[in-house]
């Protein structure tokens, strides 16, 4: 009889499931809402300041870190984020984002 395949971890009562907001006084107004669906996750990203909802894609769980990307249509900002549970009601949030500036040619002296 064949050996059963490795059973995927259920996300039902996972420590990342819930709504996450910045814990610092001057932190971001973004709220991430993480839900589980079978053995995968879904993420919603909402700007609590103006209620804009970001496009969220590339949601991945590696067994330790939940990573995903967001795109904010109002600003064109693209952001990659990682959430990692560090305590029952606390996550480590790491992110990188795009920035847009206008540059000018330096004049030759």
Per residue in 8-32, pLDDT tens?
A: 555 557 899 999 999 888 888 999 9
Give the tokens for residue 91.
């996550």
Mean pLDDT for the stretch of residues 70-83: 95
Within 8 A by CB and 6+ apart from 32, the residues are 19, 20, 21, 43, 44, 45, 81, 83
Radius of gyration of the chain measured on its C-alpha atoms: 18
The pTM is what?
Answer: 0.80
Per-residue pLDDT at 66 exceeds 60: yes
Confidence band (pLDDT; 50, 70, 90) for 38? confident
Contact present, 69 and 57 (Cβ < 8 Å): yes
């Amino acid at each position: 009889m064949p050996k059963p395949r490795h059973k995927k971890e259920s996300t039902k009562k996972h420590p990342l499931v819930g709504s996450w907001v910045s814990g610092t006084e001057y932190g971001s107004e973004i709220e991430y809402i993480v839900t589980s669906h079978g053995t995968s996750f879904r993420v919603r990203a909402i700007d609590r300041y103006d209620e804009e909802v970001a496009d969220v894609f590339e949601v991945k769980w590696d067994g330790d870190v939940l990573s995903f990307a967001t795109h904010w249509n109002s600003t064109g900002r693209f952001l990659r984020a990682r959430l990692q549970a560090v305590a029952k009601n606390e996550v480590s949030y790491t992110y990188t984002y795009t920035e847009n500036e206008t540059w000018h040619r330096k004049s030759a002296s």
